């Protein structure tokens, strides 16, 4: 492919700009663009000095470091490698003897609305107690523990307790099947599993312990010596004598004092599995010091955290967002946070807004998928519209997980943020450990649909296939040119795959390949993520990111609630665009479906250009998503090609829609 047409064409132009208000700038951690640029320049002129200063200022070290960055074995970078510390001590013990010790650490709201609060001092006692439980079960520093838990205080306690004794945790989302759980137990070599009897979601009791039993019965898990069960509900479960123990019974026997285990800065804090585009899930391995440093810094920079804030990240601890912005970042920063067990639509789709009012939430961080589904709910039922709740406590809104389309951004800005709250549209990944490209609420002028500029110290760029920088306005592959502290250290047990996946030879083995396409705006140099590189369509020689076409469809606000776009092979154009659409009204059939499909195709042609017109439009009641709300695009690609689905659909919220979406008009 010649250089001239290898650029991903960007056609979406966004002209709306929202400057930071005087209130957002006032007292902000980074106030105004000049302050942002000063930090960027500091990192550019003295890279190691920049990071050393932050690591000394933000973390409590048992043994201070002398070496900042070791690049001798790239891409296996090491940060602060001769320093020692403990992650749990940096989240809990550091606050003892300060006013924070009696501050509420977690406001927990259960699925049924019951609220429990726990202070930092109480949380430290509980974490220490459970750390002693783990030790009583033979778990030692360097061992791996699988956590398969509901979204409760106990889930956070289990993670912190592992960190306290130097055990490496691997949290598996409670929506994964027994087979997926077994694969992860085997891959990470776990010696213990922490789970619950059941979890509560949307008023329903869903099993966890029985799925653990099934996973262990599938074989290969002989290293698991104990299963610790949190009794979330009164329902009984099968308990295997000698192996299974109730959490509360074990904790009752243990002291609430446990000296934190000091570990090396590079000690693996956790392994979190992420699906690869091919093959088995990848165990993304994160270090202790570098990861924690960035979790704390981004709490301060991105969310401009104040001591009085009530922070709420809606992500589950089974995902990276729940690790960095529930289990570690808020606690390291001494914040009060909301932890929510349930789903946004139970008992009604106004639950999020009602909770913001109830707990006086000031920073709210959620996913575009959740926002879009709540838009649909609010537009079809006025009773659950955010305008019915008092959202005046909100100060900052955030978006995470995928690019947010401009129309959803505007709705969020108007209806949730009351046109006064900055929206931090954060781009990052499981592999990056924390935010990479994001606005800063007191500094960055906002553009809907754009994650704007990299954080200071993050050397992000857009390059072509050979690693050459692309000019602003021309799309290409997103890379990071220099290491950063919270980056992935390895794929657990597979160093070759790590190098191949993230540091390809074509890019010189030192440049991190994010796997996303992006473009920088010509006027401001702002980044906009155009979709995964493997979601780049090539139609008649034009390369287009799927995200742009999705954004155009969703911008047809009178008709479309949600859309996902994939490519399928086409004899004429190389690839044809297939759009899967959820309408705000009922799912159309026959002539009505044909009519609406034509409206949508013409709309895209007007919004982007005829080249972007979907060849096919298919309608469903909703899109296939995992229980965490991610659209399963690989499934859609299979449906678009007319192939039989052979992959695992056990994490699918509603399998019935696959039939609807398989029908071509």
**pLDDT tens readout for residues 122-136:** 999 999 999 999 999
pLDDT at residue number 277: 47
Top mean pLDDT of 500-514, 535-549, 562-576, 614-628 is at: 500-514
What is the distance between the alpha carbons of residues 383 and 394, in angstroms, rounded to a whole number?
A: 21
pLDDT digits (tens, 9 = 90+) for 414-449: 999 999 999 999 999 999 999 999 999 999 999 999
Quick one: pLDDT at residue 13?
65
Distance CA 499, CA 509 (A): 7
Residues 6+ apart with CB under 8 A from 172: 146, 147, 148, 180, 181, 184, 273, 318
Average pLDDT of span 514-528: 94
**612, 538 contact by CB (below 8 A):** no
pLDDT reading at 646 higher than 80: no
Query: What's the pLDDT band for 2 if we cut at 50, 70, 90?
Result: very low
Coarse DSSP helix, strand, coil percentages of the chain, rounded to the nearest 5 percent: 35, 25, 45
Place of tokens 């132009």: 13
pLDDT at 12: 63
Tokens at 461, concatenated: 């760029």
Q: For tokens 């809907």, what's the residue? A: 448
Q: In the structure encoding, which two tokens stand for residue 488, read together?
A: 């992935």
Mean pLDDT, rounded, for 152-178: 95
Question: Hey, CA dihedral for 186, 327, 80, 43, is it positive or negative?
Answer: positive
pLDDT of 629 above 90: no
Rounded Cα–Cα distance for residues 513 and 522 (Å)? 23
Q: What is the DSSP letter of 301?
A: H
What local confidence, expressed as pLDDT, does residue 656 receive?
A: 78
Helical axes 590-607 vs 546-554, angle rounded to 10°:
110
Q: Supply the pLDDT for residue 651.
A: 66
User: Would you state the pLDDT for residue 409?
Assistant: 95
**pLDDT value of residue 511:** 95
Mean pLDDT calculated for residue range 534-542:
74
> Distance between CA atoms of 576 and 625, rounded to whole angstroms?
23
What pLDDT sits at residue 533? 80
Q: What is the DSSP string of 323-352?
A: IIIIIIHHHHTT-EEEEE-S-TTSS-TTHH
Q: Is the pLDDT of residue 4 over 70?
A: no
DSSP type of residue 416: I
The answer to whether residue 635 scores a pLDDT higher than 60 is yes
Mean pLDDT of the chain, nearest integer: 93
Model pLDDT, residue 5: 47
- C-alpha–C-alpha distance, residues 506 and 478, integer Å: 14
pLDDT at 628: 66
What percent of the chain is predicted at pLDDT more than 90? 80
Q: Nearest to residue 294, comparing CAs of 335, 325, 268, 319?
A: 325
Closest CA to 607 of 663, 538, 560, 572: 560
pLDDT at 255: 98
With CA atoms as reference, report the closest residue to 54 among 287, 239, 295.
295
Token pair listed for 28? 């902000």
pLDDT in tens, 5-18: 456 666 666 789 99
Q: Which of 291-295, 464-468, 521-525 has the highest average model confidence (pLDDT)?
A: 291-295
- 456 Rama class: left (phi>0) / alpha (psi -120 to 50) / beta: beta
Is the distance from CB of 596 to CB of 607 less than 8 angstroms? Answer: no
Task: Please write down the long-range contacts of 313-316, taking CB distance under 8 Å and 24 or more positions apart.
Answer: 313/337, 313/365, 313/366, 313/398, 313/400, 314/340, 314/344, 314/352, 314/364, 314/365, 314/366, 314/367, 314/370, 315/365, 315/366, 315/367, 315/400, 315/401, 315/628, 316/151, 316/173, 316/174, 316/628
pLDDT of 645 above 90: no
pLDDT in tens, 232-284: 999 999 999 999 999 999 999 999 999 999 999 999 999 999 865 445 789 99
CB-count exposure of residue 90 (10 Å: 0-12, 13-18, 19+): buried
Model pLDDT for residues 218-229, shown as the tens digit of each residue: 999 999 999 999
Sequence-distant (6+) residues with CB within 8 A of 197 are: 208, 209, 229, 230, 231, 232, 233, 235, 236, 237
Question: pLDDT digits over 350-399, tens only?
Answer: 999 999 999 999 999 999 888 988 998 999 999 999 999 999 999 999 99
Angle between helical axes of 120-136 and 153-165 (0-180°, round to 10): 60
The token duo for 473 is 């306005």
pLDDT digits (tens, 9 = 90+) for 275-288: 654 457 899 999 99
DSSP structure string for 466-532: TSPBPPTT-BEEEEE-S--TTS--EETT-HHHHHHHHS-GGGTTSSEEEEEEEEE-TTT--EEEEEE
Strands 144-148 and 192-196: parallel
Between CA 276 and CA 287, with CA 282 as vertex, the angle to 5 degrees is 135
Distance CA 62, CA 83 (A): 8
Which of helix, strand or coil describes residue 579? strand
Tell me what pLDDT residue 211 has: 95
- Would you state the pLDDT for residue 625? 84
Sheet strands (E) in 552-661 = 560-570, 574-583, 616-619
- Taking the C-alpha atoms of residue 400 and residue 20, their distance in angstroms, rounded to an integer, is 20
Distance CA 532, CA 518 (A): 9
Mean pLDDT throughout 533-546? 75
Note the pLDDT tens digit of each residue in 11-41: 666 789 999 999 999 999 999 999 999 999 9
Lowest mean per-residue pLDDT among 27-31, 164-168, 194-198, 273-277: 273-277
Q: Which residues of 402-421 are buried (b: 16+ CB within 10 A; e: fewer)?
A: bbbbbbbbbbbbebbbeeeb
Percent over 70 (pLDDT), the chain: 96
């Amino acid at each position: 492919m010649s250089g001239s047409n290898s650029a991903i064409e960007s056609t979406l132009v966004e002209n709306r700009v929202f400057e930071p208000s005087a209130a957002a700038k006032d007292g902000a951690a980074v106030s105004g663009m000049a302050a942002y640029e000063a930090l960027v320049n500091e990192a550019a002129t003295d890279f190691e000095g920049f990071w050393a200063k932050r690591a000394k200022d933000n973390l409590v070290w048992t043994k201070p470091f002398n070496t900042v960055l070791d690049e001798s074995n790239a891409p296996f970078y090491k940060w602060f490698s001769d320093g020692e510390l403990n992650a749990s001590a940096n989240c809990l013990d550091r606050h003892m003897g300060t006013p924070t010790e009696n501050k509420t650490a977690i406001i927990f709201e259960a699925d049924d609305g019951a609220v429990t609060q726990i202070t930092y001092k109480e949380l430290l006692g509980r974490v220490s107690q459970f750390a002693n439980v783990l030790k009583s079960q033979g778990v030692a520093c360097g061992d791996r523990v699988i956590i398969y838990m509901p979204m409760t205080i106990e889930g956070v306690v289990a993670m912190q307790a592992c960190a306290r004794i130097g055990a490496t945790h691997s949290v598996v989302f409670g929506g994964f099947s027994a087979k997926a759980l077994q694969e992860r137990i085997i891959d990470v070599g776990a010696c213990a599993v922490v789970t619950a009897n059941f979890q509560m979601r949307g008023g329903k009791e869903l099993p966890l312990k029985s799925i653990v039993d099934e996973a262990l019965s599938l074989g290969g898990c002989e290293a698991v010596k104990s299963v610790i069960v949190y009794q979330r509900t009164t329902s009984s479960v099968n308990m295997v004598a000698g192996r299974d123990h109730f959490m509360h019974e074990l904790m009752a026997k243990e002291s609430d004092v446990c000296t934190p285990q000091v570990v090396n800065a590079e000690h693996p804090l956790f392994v979190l599995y992420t699906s690869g585009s091919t093959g088995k899930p990848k165990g993304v391995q994160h270090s202790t010091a570098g990861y924690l440093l960035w979790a704390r810094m981004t709490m301060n920079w991105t969310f401009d955290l104040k001591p009085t804030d009530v922070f709420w990240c809606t992500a589950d601890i089974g995902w990276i967002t729940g690790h960095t912005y529930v289990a570690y970042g808020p606690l390291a920063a001494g914040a009060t946070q909301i932890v929510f067990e349930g789903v946004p639509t139970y008992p009604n789709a106004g639950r999020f807004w009602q909770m913001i009012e109830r707990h006086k939430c000031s920073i709210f961080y959620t996913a575009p998928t959740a926002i879009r589904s709540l838009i649909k709910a609010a537009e079809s039922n006025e009773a659950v519209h955010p305008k019915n709740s008092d959202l005046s406590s909100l100060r900052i809104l955030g978006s995470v997980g995928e690019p947010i389309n401009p129309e959803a951004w505007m709705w969020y800005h108007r209806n949730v943020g009351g046109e006064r709250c900055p929206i931090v549209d954060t781009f990052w990944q499981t592999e990056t450990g924390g935010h990479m490209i994001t606005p800063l609420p007191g500094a960055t002028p906002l553009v809907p649909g754009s994650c704007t500029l990299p954080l200071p110290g993050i050397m992000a760029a857009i390059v072509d296939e050979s690693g050459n920088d692309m000019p602003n306005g021309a799309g290409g592959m997103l890379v990071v040119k220099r290491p950063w502290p919270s980056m992935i250290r390895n794929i657990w047990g597979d160093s070759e795959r790590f190098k191949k996946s993230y540091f390809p030879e074509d890019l010189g083995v030192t440049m991190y390949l994010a796997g996303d396409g992006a473009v920088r705006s010509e006027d401001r140099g702002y980044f906009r993520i155009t979709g995964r590189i493997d979601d780049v369509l090539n139609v008649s020689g034009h390369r287009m990111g799927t995200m742009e076409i999705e954004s155009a469809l969703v911008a047809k606000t009178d008709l479309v609630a949600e859309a996902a776009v994939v490519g399928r092979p086409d004899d004429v154009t190389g690839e044809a665009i297939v759009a899967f659409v959820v309408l705000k009204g009922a799912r159309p059939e026959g002539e009505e479906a044909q009519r609406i499909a034509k409206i949508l195709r013409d709309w895209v042609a007007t919004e982007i250009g005829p080249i972007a017109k979907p060849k096919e439009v298919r309608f469903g009641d909703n899109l296939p998503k995992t229980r965490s709300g991610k659209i399963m695009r690989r499934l859609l690609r299979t449906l678009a090609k007319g192939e039989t689905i052979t992959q695992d659909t056990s994490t699918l919220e509603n399998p019935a829609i696959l039939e609807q979406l398989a029908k071509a008009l």
